[in-house]
């Protein structure tokens, strides 16, 4: 039995989104390396500019269409492209973050 996911994009242009929470602790790095990557460890919020389907080649299923989102992050001038599974609606962020913290432990 195969399960087909909806081809409908989860986000629409104009939606406020956030990156899904992610672990930011990397053990055993030198202090100077930690300082250099510190600027990339902040949580990002932004606005969806566009959605599109990107063909992705997989070893078992051949080419599949994945939903991608073009996001203009707050404070940046140029949008970037992300798989929609890496994003959540901004109003859902606190709930998703709390579940994530509960799953990995405090």
pLDDT in tens, 91-104: 998 898 888 777 76
The CA distance from 23 to 35, in Å, is 17
Tell me the longest C-alpha to C-alpha distance in the chain: 51
Q: Is the pTM of this model over 0.75?
A: no
The CA distance from 28 to 23, in Å, is 15
Residue with tokens 């989860």: 10
Each residue of 9-64: pLDDT tens digit?
Answer: 899 999 999 998 876 655 566 777 666 666 656 789 999 999 999 998 999 999 98
């Amino acid at each position: 039995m195969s399960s087909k996911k909806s081809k409908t994009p989860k986000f629409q242009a104009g939606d406020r989104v956030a990156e899904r929470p992610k672990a930011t602790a990397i053990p055993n790095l030198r202090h100077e390396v930690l300082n250099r990557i510190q600027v990339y460890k902040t949580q990002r919020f932004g606005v969806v500019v566009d959605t599109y389907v990107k063909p992705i080649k997989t070893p078992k299923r051949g080419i599949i269409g994945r939903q991608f989102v073009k996001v203009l992050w707050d404070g940046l001038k140029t949008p970037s492209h992300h798989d929609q599974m890496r994003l959540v609606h901004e109003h859902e962020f606190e709930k998703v973050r709390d579940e994530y913290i509960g799953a990995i432990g405090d």
